[in-house]
Amino acid sequence: MKKSYDLALVCGRRPELIARTLESFHQNVFPHFSFANVLVNIDPFCGDAADGVEVRDIVESYFPEAIFFEPESASFGAAVKRLWKNSKSDILLHLEDDWVAIEEINSKQIEQYLINNVTSVADGQRKELD
């Protein structure tokens, strides 16, 4: 059975970073996935309100239907919890605004690790979650 995917994006008001991140993932990762939902948290750190608007515009240029969360105060932990809690798909791809995709990643590579138990995959290593 084909798995459904959501994308979670944790970011701050850093347009130059999100632009570079999304471009690299657009080249190496996104073409291999179809996302049911794109969930984006823009925390109010770094930059100003105008930078936050620019971040939103950049994300929307890739994902016009993205769902945005823009909390009053910054909290990385709260952002992750918020995005993960709102995911509805079988698999959630978690992405942060200062990551760069340096090689191709496809669903087969991800799904080979996700069997039996809920797991986390980072750097090609499978980790069981308690």
Higher-scoring residue by pLDDT: 63, 101: 63
As assigned by CATH, the class of the 5-103 domain is alpha beta
Statement: the pTM of the whole predicted model exceeds 0.85 = no
Confidence of residue 27 (pLDDT cuts 50, 70, 90): very high
d(CA 66, CA 69): 10
User: What average pLDDT is seen over the chain?
Assistant: 88
56 and 68 Cβ atoms separated by less than 8 Å:
yes
3 — phi, psi (to 5°)?
Answer: -85, 145
Span 107-119, pLDDT tens digits: 787 777 666 555 5
Q: What is the average pLDDT across 40-57?
A: 97
User: Could you give the CA distance from residue 40 to residue 59 in angstroms, rounded to a whole number?
Assistant: 8
User: Which among 80, 64, 87, 112 is positioned nearest to 7, based on CA atoms?
Assistant: 87
Confidence at residue 2, expressed as pLDDT on a 0 to 100 scale: 81
Token couple for 20: 């570079």
Check residue 103 and give its pLDDT. Answer: 82
- pLDDT of res. 107: 77
DSSP string, 23-43: HHHHHHTGGG--EEEEEEEE-
Residue boundaries of the structural domains of the chain: 5-103
* Interval 60-73: pLDDT, tens: 999 999 999 999 99
Q: Which two tokens stand for residue 68?
A: 């945005």
The Cβ of residue 35 has, within 10 Å, a number of other Cβ atoms equal to: 17
For the cut 50, the answer to whether the pLDDT of residue 130 exceeds it is no
> In which band, very low, low, confident or very high, does the pLDDT at 126 lie, cut at 50, 70 and 90?
very low
Q: Token pair of 100, please?
A: 């760069």
